[in-house]
């Protein structure tokens, strides 16, 4: 028995301006951690849906600014995993800073330079997860009728090395 071929439609977004620069450090399973350092991250988005009545998955002119806005939220920040079981973040004594503690390490950073994300570690795959879930939420707000078949977000920390999050329906 031969099955009938099916068609699907998707868009892929990869632009030089869909990027952000941020600092972070990874915490490893053995409890060791990287030194604080930064990357120039790039973001990639693939979206599969049914075509709308105008023959579009979504309008590139509408989704690219949405992705760019998320990049801007992460840009020039220290990214801290808010769901790590040992790392803590609290207001510093001076009031304008946050104190970030991991074991013997203590960082006091101005509040507006820190972004505490609901992730367990600041790896590329966890950043892709945050980015993808946040993008999905914003897409649902903007296009509640959109039937997403697949959404995939890649966050590249160095050329050729990226974490990818994918949602399939």
Residue-wise pLDDT tens digits, 86-130: 999 999 887 899 999 999 999 999 999 999 999 999 999 999 999
Domain ranges of the chain: 9-28+37-84+113-168
Please count the residues of the chain: 169
In angstroms, the CA 145 to CA 15 distance is: 26
Positions of the chain with pLDDT under 70: none
Pull the structure tokens for residue 48.
């599969």
- pLDDT the model gives residue 136: 97
Those residues whose C-beta lies under 8 Å from the C-beta of residue 104, and which sit 6 or more positions away, are none
Six token digits for residue 63: 């989704």
C-alpha neighbours within 13 Å on the C-beta side of residue 158: 2
Choices 3.40.640.10, 3.50.50.60, 3.30.479.10, 3.90.190.10: CATH for 9-28+37-84+113-168? 3.30.479.10
Cβ atoms of 152 and 165 closer than 8 Å: yes
| pTM, rounded to two decimals | 0.93
Radius of gyration of the chain from Cα atoms? 19
Q: Looking up tokens 């330079």, which residue turns up?
A: 113
């Amino acid at each position: 028995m031969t099955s009938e071929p099916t068609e699907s439609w998707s868009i892929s977004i990869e632009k030089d301006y869909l990027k952000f620069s941020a600092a972070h450090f990874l915490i490893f399973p053995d409890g060791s951690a990287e030194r604080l350092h930064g990357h120039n991250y790039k973001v990639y988005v693939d979206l599969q849906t049914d075509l709308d009545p105008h023959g579009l998955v979504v309008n590139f002119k509408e989704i690219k600014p949405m992705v760019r806005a998320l990049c801007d939220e992460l840009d020039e920040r220290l990214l801290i995993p808010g769901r790590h079981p040992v790392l803590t973040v609290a207001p510093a004594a001076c009031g304008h800073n946050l104190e970030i503690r991991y074991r013997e390490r203590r960082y006091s950073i101005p509040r507006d330079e820190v972004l505490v994300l609901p992730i367990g570690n600041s790896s590329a795959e966890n950043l892709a997860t945050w980015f993808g879930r946040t993008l999905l939420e914003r897409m649902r707000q903007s296009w509640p009728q959109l039937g997403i078949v697949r959404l995939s977000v890649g966050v590249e920390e160095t050329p050729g090395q990226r974490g990818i999050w994918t949602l399939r329906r």
